[in-house]
Amino acid sequence: MTAVILDGRLIASEIKKQVALQVGQLAKRGIKPFLATIQVGDDPASSSYLRGKHKAAEEVGIQSENHHLPANTPQDKVEALLGQLNTNPRVHGILVQLPLPRGFDEDRIIERIIPYKDVDGLHPINQGKLAAGKEELVPCTPKGIIKLLSHYKVPIAGQRAVIINRTTLVGRPLANLFLNRDATITISHSKTPNLAQITKTADILVSAVGRENFQIKPEHVKPKAAVVDVGLTRVEGKLRGDVDFEAVSKLAGFITPVPGGVGPMTVACLVENTVQAASIQTRG
Ligand code: NAP
């Protein structure tokens, strides 16, 4: 048996087509969705992610700009810039590229973004709404995972989902999205003993670890499970996911490739969130 490949590139391009249509609708009302990003420092991975985000914005007709600040910028300067973007009526979406250089209080920075412009869905207000069952501006990677599973009609309601990750970027919001869709969820992390015993119970297994010494092997996976690979790590200069794709795809029912799985879905959901934010802010 070979797993069905969950083709994130294909589904992301379909989402972007829909978003471009929405941008066209907003243009008829004189509204031009605008995304502002902030990068502090020169982390090459952050630069590459941001290039992908701005390229996607351009593809769908969203205007965007990146505020690139040196790594030694004081925290209050970044907060002041956020204050300006918050009150600028031309700006509908604000994203701070994480991680910030050492020494920054990331939580405080995220809390400075006005929640209705928080297109990454990381502000505690947006996280809290999601935890309360209200999906407004939802973090892009978890949102993309749900869209990918739904597109391929992978059942979620009544299924057991196991997530390896407990961050506000991936694990916690994804758990809430699964809960909202009637899955039974388990969150595991670096302190979870006997990981394979837990992951083997998963109808849907999501791995978002990204450590060189960590790999999901067939012994972690229930036959016919849907396996979603989020984690990214560089091994000998090459980017790889958490999952041993070759071996696991022989027993899983569905599997995401790396690259071409969750990554493109994340970017597509960012442009979708930006248009959603513009629509919310310009509602009559
Ligand atoms: P993170 O802050 O490093 O979190 C990693 C998570 O993995 C933590 O919850 C950690 O547990 C857990 N973990 C670490 N070692 C483990 C182990 N040996 N066994 C079980 N769990 C372990 O990273 P993140 O920001 O959430 O992102 C996770 C990964 O996804 C990264 O590789 C990132 O690059 C990737 N990512 C990809 C996309 C995409 O679009 N493809 C988007 C977002 C993130 P503790 O909480 O106990 O430390």
User: pLDDT by residue (tens digit) across 185-214?
Assistant: 999 999 999 999 999 999 999 999 999 999
120, 203, 229, 242: the catalytic one is 120
- Which residue's CA is the closest to the ligand 1 atom numbered 40? 263
- What mean pLDDT is predicted for residues 37-50? 97
pLDDT at 1 over 90: no
242 is catalytic: no
Ramachandran class of 227: left when φ > 0, alpha when ψ lies in -120 to 50, beta otherwise: beta
Percent of the chain with pLDDT strictly greater than 70: 100
- Which residue's CA is the closest to the ligand 1 atom numbered 9? 165
209 C-alpha to center of ligand 1: Å?
Answer: 3
159 is catalytic: no
Supply the pTM of this predicted model: 0.98
- Which residue's CA is the closest to the ligand 1 atom numbered 30? 231
Mean pLDDT across the chain: 97
Percent of the chain with pLDDT strictly greater than 90: 97
Question: What is residue 115's DSSP assignment?
Answer: G
53 is catalytic: yes
7, 16, 39, 53: the catalytic one is 53
pLDDT at 284 over 80: no
* Residues linked to residue 40 through DSSP beta bridges, in sequence order: 69
Query: 3-state class of 186 per DSSP?
Result: strand
- Which residue's CA is the closest to the ligand 1 atom numbered 16? 190
278 C-alpha to center of ligand 1: Å?
Answer: 30
pLDDT of residue 190: 98
229 C-alpha to center of ligand 1: Å?
Answer: 11
Query: 3-state class of 7 per DSSP?
Result: coil
Do 23 and 62 touch, CB atoms closer than 8 A?
A: yes
Question: What is residue 242's DSSP assignment?
Answer: S
pLDDT in tens, 54-110: 999 999 999 999 999 999 999 999 999 999 999 999 999 999 999 999 999 999 999
Residues in the chain, how many?
284
pLDDT of residue 129: 98
How many CB atoms within 10 Å of residue 258?
20
CA distance 284 to 282: 6
- In which residue ranges of the chain is CATH 3.40.50.10860 found? 30-117
Q: Mutation test of ligand 1: which of 140, 187, 190, 234 has the most ligand atoms closer than 8 Å to its C-beta?
A: 190
- In which residue ranges of the chain is CATH 3.40.50.720 found? 140-264
The ligand 1 atom at the shortest distance from the C-alpha of residue 213 is 18
pLDDT of residue 158: 98
Query: 3-state class of 176 per DSSP?
Result: helix
- Which residue's CA is the closest to the ligand 1 atom numbered 48? 190
208 C-alpha to center of ligand 1: Å?
Answer: 5
The correct CATH number of 140-264 out of 3.50.50.60, 3.40.190.10, 3.30.1360.40, 3.40.50.720 is 3.40.50.720
pLDDT of residue 280: 95
How many CB atoms within 10 Å of residue 99?
12
Q: Mutation test of ligand 1: which of 122, 170, 265 has the most ligand atoms closer than 8 Å to its C-beta?
A: 170
The ligand 1 atom at the shortest distance from the C-alpha of residue 45 is 34
- What mean pLDDT is predicted for residues 126-144? 98
183 C-alpha to center of ligand 1: Å?
Answer: 22
How many CB atoms within 10 Å of residue 133?
9
pLDDT at 40 over 90: yes
Residue 175: band (very low, low, confident or very high) from pLDDT cuts 50, 70, 90: very high
Instruction: Assign domain 30-117 to its CATH architecture.
Output: 3-Layer(aba) Sandwich (3.40)
